[in-house]
Amino acid sequence: MSWDAFRDQAAEQLANVNGRRRALAKLAGVDLGENDHGSVLIAGWLGYVPQIVDLDDTGGSNLLFSDRFRAIGSGSAHASIAHMTLSAITISGISPRQHLQVVMNVAAICAQMCSLPVHVLRVTMDSISDAPLPGPSSASNNDGGRDAG
């Protein structure tokens, strides 16, 4: 399977999930907000070809592979700024996981309707594993305390 074929199949599945959510909300007489639908960032390898796929809530999809930082959703601009800022200064003893935790916390604090990611995974050519982050943050987010999981 090619990345284009995978992207098309994954986008169709996410569009079905989001479409079903919209239909159920309509039946319930509820208007969904702009950020009330799912989006997904997928990273991995097909064969020996690495790729990052961004699937949005409208059925759109993009191939994003590059050697730079990537984020999606309402907090993506804030996350990118936090990442660039942390990368430009020297903080002794900060691990990559701590760096990621700070970036995610900044995005969750600054962006309306942004919460922390549901899952953070480490993806290598040989394996996929959970990438647990440091313990709970003291930062609060703008989602009214909603659980991101």
> Which tens digits make up the pLDDT trace of 51-64?
888 888 888 888 87
Cα(79)–Cα(105) distance, integer angstroms:
8
Cα(120)–Cα(52) distance, integer angstroms:
14
> Which tens digits make up the pLDDT trace of 25-34?
899 998 887 6
Stated as kind and residue range, the H or E segment containing 118 is none
Cα(55)–Cα(62) distance, integer angstroms:
7
DSSP string, 43-106: EEEETTEEEEEEE-TTS-EEE---SS----STTHHHHHHHHHHHHHS--TT--HHHHHHHHHHH
Mean pLDDT of the chain: 77
Q: Burial, 133: exposed, middle or buried (Cβ in 10 Å; 0-12, 13-18, 19+)?
A: middle
pLDDT at 136: 47
Identify which has the larger pLDDT, 7 or 127: 7
Share of the chain above pLDDT 70, in %: 84
Determine the average pLDDT of the residues in 77-84. 86
Contact 94, 58 (CB under 8 A): no
Determine the average pLDDT of the residues in 80-96. 82
pTM above 0.85, yes or no: no
Domain boundaries defined on the chain: 1-67, 68-149
Cα(14)–Cα(58) distance, integer angstroms:
9
Q: Is 113 left (phi over 0), alpha (psi -120 to 50) or beta?
A: left
